[in-house]
Amino acid sequence: MSDHIENEGKKGRFMMWFIIYFVMFISLLIYLYRYNLHLEF
């Protein structure tokens, strides 16, 4: 069944970077949201 695996590790590496960037993006949104709460206009 696994005679020739051409792209082994590419999906795992893609998922790893996708999760890392997703977590960084969410933390950036939370940081900006909390930062904007402290501003006074």
pLDDT digits (tens, 9 = 90+) for 1-41: 556 666 668 888 999 999 999 999 999 999 998 888 876 65
DSSP 39: -
SS3 content of the chain, % helix, strand, coil (to 5): 70, 0, 30
Encode burial over 29-40: b for 16+ CB neighbours within 10 A, e otherwise.
eeeeeeeeeeee
Does the pTM of the predicted model rise above 0.85? no
